[in-house]
Amino acid sequence: MDGGRVMSTLEPIQVGLSNALLAPERPLPPGVITWNGSDPSVRFDVYRNNVVVSLTTALAEGFPVTRALVGERFFAAMARCFIADHLPSSPILSDYGDALPDFIAAFPPAQGLSYLPDLARLERARVQAYHAADAPALTAQDLACQLANPQRLSAARLALHPACIVLVSEHAIVSLWAAHQGQGRIEDVDLRRAESALVLRDGDAVLVLPLSLEIGHFLVALAAGAPLGEAAEIAAAAGPDVDLTQAIVLLIHYGGIAAWHTPGDL
């Protein structure tokens, strides 16, 4: 049997099945049959529903606070719309959902919930931190010679650990998330207050550490590749009284620095 001919025959069917999987208005491609002669469209509807339910469940497990805030029915409807345009690119379901925060930001029914995309970003950051690759972190001893040379500090660039993610939001997403963990009352959260957080993995746990906005902007700049001097200027613009030493100590304490580069390093 000509294997190439078999594959060329199957390809249109496979493409048609993929296109119809999450688009109920699309018919099954011709040539699809079942082993027992039953109606293939009925069996495919069952399969389609199972796929949507599985992906919706994966999203619900990755965004529990987002789901709680909008309610089960709203979240399920939003998830279905998201799934229709965002099929998984990986067989690992924990990888699914990176695009959901941006989708929420553009989702018309959620336009009145301006804090929701950033809250979803915080929840996604927790999943990403938990599953981030392992990497050695620099210790205080590793950095002692770098910190002892103030002339070189301004041009130094830091690479954050893969499990460290910094968020800065115009809304009180950290307090809102914490309230859903039993840390404070939801009714006391002022959503108009800007907040920042460092999300990181500490052993088997994922921590959400509240930051001042100044330190948040400082760490965001470092994560984007800015040298220390430039990042310090960004932090100073956000608040002149910020103690950047505190931010560096925090990173060292939690193993948040994967590399430290200064001009002239080989």
193-228: per-residue pLDDT in tens? 999 999 999 989 999 999 999 999 999 999 999 999
What is residue 23's predicted lDDT score, i.e. its pLDDT? 64
pLDDT of 189 higher than 80: yes
Residue given tokens 């919930």 in the structure block: 113
pTM to 2 decimal places: 0.85
What is residue 11's predicted lDDT score, i.e. its pLDDT? 64
- Mean per-residue pLDDT, 52-75: 94
The more confident residue out of 238 and 63 is 63
Bridge-partner residues for 198, per DSSP? 166, 209
Tens of pLDDT, residue by residue over 15-45, are 666 666 666 666 676 667 676 777 767 777 7
What is residue 207's predicted lDDT score, i.e. its pLDDT? 97
Least confident piece of the model among 120-129, 130-139, 144-153? 144-153
DSSP SS3 for 135: coil
Dist. CA 76–CA 96, nearest whole Å: 15
pLDDT of 13 higher than 70: no
| 171 CB neighbour count, 10 Å cutoff | 21
Tens of pLDDT, residue by residue over 82-115, are 998 888 888 888 889 999 999 999 999 999 999 9
| 152: confidence class by pLDDT, cuts 50, 70, 90 | confident
Residues 9 and 29 sit within 8 Å (Cβ to Cβ): no
Residues 150 and 184 sit within 8 Å (Cβ to Cβ): no
DSSP string covering 85-112, please? Answer: H---SSS-GGGTTTTHHHHHHH-GGGTT
What is residue 114's predicted lDDT score, i.e. its pLDDT? 96
What is residue 256's predicted lDDT score, i.e. its pLDDT? 95
Residues 183 and 246 sit within 8 Å (Cβ to Cβ): no
According to DSSP, the β-strands at 257-261 and 157-160 are antiparallel
What is residue 22's predicted lDDT score, i.e. its pLDDT? 66
What is residue 46's predicted lDDT score, i.e. its pLDDT? 73
DSSP SS3 for 189: coil
> What ranges do the domains of the chain cover?
1-113, 133-266
The pair of three-digit structure tokens given for residue 111, joined into one six-digit string: 């336009």
Dist. CA 11–CA 65, nearest whole Å: 41
Helix or strand holding residue 27 (H, E): none
What is residue 7's predicted lDDT score, i.e. its pLDDT? 40
Dist. CA 179–CA 156, nearest whole Å: 38
